[in-house]
Chain A
Amino acid sequence: MRGFTISDVLTMLAAVQWTATLVVLALAFGAPLALLLARMCTGRSLIARLVATGILQLVQGVPVLGLLMFFYFGMPVFLGIKVPALVSVGAAFTIFTAAFLGEIWRGGIQAVHVAQGEAAACLGLTRWQTFRHVIAPQAFRIALPATVGFLVQLIKNTSLASVVGFVELARAGQLASAATFQPLLSYACVAAIYFALCFPLTLWSRSLEDKLNGAR
C-alpha cells in the first residue's frame, strides 16, 4: 500500500485528455448526425420523419450504460471484428449525442415560426436556402443554451466508459483509489475535476439563456 500523493492527482489530470477525446469524438460525429436527424424530423417526407423520430425515441429510452455495453460487447459479435475500446465507446457516445442534440435542435427548428419559412419561400428561396439563411440561424440561437447544457451532460456521462475499462478521468480515480485505499480522497478529487470542467459551461449556458430571454 502507498499513500495518496500529488502524482495520483497528476495521473487523473492526464486522464482528462481521454475524457476530452471522448467528448470531441462524440461531438465531431454526433453533431452532424444530430443535424441530419433534426432536419428529418422537421422535413416534409413522412418516412424520414417516422424513421428519425423512431431513432430519437429509441436511443433516448435506453440508458447510456446500455448503449456502451451494446457497442462494447455487440460490435465484436455483430461485426465479427475486435475493435479497440476507444472505437466502441466513441460509437456509443456518438449515438447518444446524435439523439439528444437531435432532439434539442428539432425543438429549436420548430420554435422558429412557420411564417418565417413561408416568407422565405415566397421570395423564391429554395428549401435549402431557406433553412441555411432564415431558419437555422434563428433555431441555433434558440437552441444554444440547451446545447451547451447538453455538453455538461456529455462530459459527465463519459465517466460511464470506465465500466468497460476505458481509462478516462473516472477510471483513473478508481485506479488511484484501489492503489492507495483512499477512496474518499480519490473520488473527491475526481469530482472536483469534473466540477471544474462543467461549472464554466453551466455558467455560460445560463448567461446565454439570459441573453436569449433579454432579446425577446
Chain B
Amino acid sequence: MALVEISNVHKSFGEVEVLRGIDLTVEKGEIVTIIGRSGSGKSTLLRCINGLEQINGGEIKVAGERVHSRSTDLRKLREHVGIVFQQFNLFPHMTVERNITLAPVLTGKIAKGDAARELARKVLAQVGLEEKIDAYPGQLSGGQQQRVAIARCLAMSPYLMLFDEVTSALDPELVGEVLKVMEDLATQGMTMILVTHEMNFARNVASKLVFMHAGMVHEEGRPADLFANPATPELANFISSVR
C-alpha cells in the first residue's frame, strides 16, 4: 500500500478551480518534488494532504486513512504528518526548546522537563543548532528559524514530511543550510513531499518529479528523465524559464 494515495482530487476557491483531478501516489521512503508555475496548485495540493484545506471531490488517503472523511481524527493524523511552511511559523513568544517540545508534551508523547529538553537537543542536533536551544525565534536568522521549524516537526517523529516552498522566503546565502538539512533527512529514509523552486534539489535529491500545470499533474517521472526529455512543451518551457 502506498503511503499517500491521491485520486481525482478537485478543489475550488469560490469560482476558481485550483485542482482539477489530481492523481498521485507516494511510496514510503520516496522524495517527491512538485514543481510548476505559481498558481498551478502546488501549495494547495500540499495543504490538502494534511487536511489544512478541504477538497471538493476525489479522495486523499494517508497511511490508508481518508484525510477528508468526517470520521478521521485529523489531530491524530497530523501527529505523524509534519509540515514546514514558507514563513517558518515558529511561535515567537517561546524559546526554541519550547517551540519544539510544546506539541510532543501536550500530545502526551513525552514528559515535561528533562526528557523534553533531551528531545529538543536531539532534534536540534539533527539540524545543527544545538547551541540555540534557549534562543527566541526573533534572535535567529531566517535559515536558522527554518531549521528550527524542521526540528519542531522531527520532534513528533513523523512518517511523512511536507515542505511548502521552505526556502522561498530566505536570503539566497541561507538557502544552502536548509537544503543540506533536507538532504540529510532524505538520506535517512524520510518520506518527503516538497513544493519547491530549487531545481537542483529536484534534480539531484528527489526520487520522483511531478510537474503541475493548470491544476493537473502534467508530467511525472524520474527527475533525470523529465529534465532531459520533457514530453510536453509546457514542461520544456518551464525548465528553460527557470534555468
Say whether A and B bind each other.
yes
| CB within 8 Å of A: which B88-106 residues | 89-93, 102-103, 106
Write the nearest CB–CB distance from B44 to chain A, whole angstroms: 14
Q: How far, in angstroms, from A116 to B92 measured CA to CA in the complex?
A: 9
Interface code A117-137, partner B: CB below 8 Å = 1, 0 otherwise?
011111111100100011001
Interface size for B (C-beta < 8 A) is 22
Measured as residues with beta carbon below 8 angstroms from the partner, the interface class of chain A is: 10 to 19
Q: Is the interface of B mostly helix, strand, loop or mixed?
A: loop
Asked if A115 contacts B89 (CB within 8 A), the reply is yes
Chain B residues, Cβ within 8 Å of A137: 93
Interface code A49-83, partner B: CB below 8 Å = 1, 0 otherwise?
00000000000000000000000000000000000
Write the nearest CB–CB distance from B50 to chain A, whole angstroms: 6
Q: How far, in angstroms, from A125 to B89 measured CA to CA in the complex?
A: 15
Contact of A123 among B76, B93, B102 (CB under 8 A): B102
Asked if A122 contacts B91 (CB within 8 A), the reply is no
Q: How far, in angstroms, from A138 to B83 measured CA to CA in the complex?
A: 22
- Knowing A118-B52, A133-B102 touch, does A126 contact B89 (C-beta < 8 A)? no
Contact of B79 among A120, A124, A129 (CB under 8 A): A124
Q: How far, in angstroms, from A119 to B50 measured CA to CA in the complex?
A: 12
Write the nearest CB–CB distance from B45 to chain A, whole angstroms: 16
Q: How far, in angstroms, from A122 to B76 measured CA to CA in the complex?
A: 10
The listed residue with most B CB atoms (<10 A of its CB), out of A120, A122, A129, A134, is A122
Q: How far, in angstroms, from A129 to B153 measured CA to CA in the complex?
A: 17
- Knowing A124-B79, A124-B156, A126-B75 touch, does A119 contact B89 (C-beta < 8 A)? yes
User: Is B41 positioned at the interface, with any CB of A under 8 Å from its CB?
Assistant: no
Interface code A98-122, partner B: CB below 8 Å = 1, 0 otherwise?
0000000000000000011011111
Chain A residues, Cβ within 8 Å of B50: 122
- Knowing A123-B152, A123-B156, A124-B78 touch, does A118 contact B102 (C-beta < 8 A)? no
Nearest A residue to B109 by beta-carbon distance? A124
Asked if A125 contacts B91 (CB within 8 A), the reply is no
Asked if B107 contacts A125 (CB within 8 A), the reply is yes
Chain B residues, Cβ within 8 Å of A156: none
List 4 additional contacts besides A123-B79, A124-B156; criterion CB under 8 Å: A119-B90, A123-B82, A123-B102, A133-B91
A-B contact pairs, 6 of them (CB 8 A): A115-B89, A121-B78, A123-B156, A124-B103, A125-B103, A125-B107
The residues of B with any CB-CB pair to A shorter than 8 Å are: 50, 52, 75-76, 78-79, 82-83, 85, 87, 89-93, 102-103, 106-107, 152-153, 156
The residues of A with any CB-CB pair to B shorter than 8 Å are: 115-116, 118-126, 129, 133-134, 137-138, 141
